[in-house]
Amino acid sequence: MNRHTFGVRRYLFTVLPSKDLGLLTRSLPIARELRNHGHDVAFCHPAEAPRKLISQAGFENHLPNRPLYRITGGHFSAGNIARLLCSRYLIRDTWLLAWTVRHIMQGSTAEVWTADHFCKLIGFLI
């Protein structure tokens, strides 16, 4: 099969909003291969280090529109906080943020570096 069989497809790679580069570095070769076959490929990652790596690899990185994702990605601006307060998801996002912070504060470090660490902090791992 070649790319003309099915036409151009669009792919969006999303990952956990952490500074973990492991999953991202595994995704980049796949993304490059898809792009080499003529497909449109983009990423969605709010954290700073992964954003730099995505940019250096030549891919677009679409930040999520939800203010909660921007804030958890480290974008603590007055505009993002105002967007969160005016969001139609305010109650759900505030609850989720408070729940996550509570789990993180139960004995963690200031930053999340791996997917396993992230899962442990939010209560997925015992």
* Domain residue limits, the chain: 3-88
Alpha-carbon separation of residue 74 from 12, 17, 21, 39 (angstroms): 21, 10, 16, 31
Q: Encode pLDDT of 44-99 as tens digits.
A: 987 788 889 999 999 999 887 777 776 766 667 788 788 878 888 888 888 877 87
Q: Is the pLDDT of residue 119 over 70?
A: yes
Q: Among 65, 68, 66, which Cα is nearest to 97's?
A: 68
Residue pair 103/123 in contact by the 8 Å Cβ criterion = yes
Q: Is the pLDDT of residue 33 over 80?
A: yes
Looking only at Cα atoms, what is the longest distance across the chain?
53
Asked if CATH classification 3.40.50 holds for the domain at 3-88, the reply, yes or no, is yes
Q: Judging by DSSP bridges, how do beta strands 60-61 and 10-14 pair with one another?
A: unpaired
Residue pair 10/27 in contact by the 8 Å Cβ criterion = no
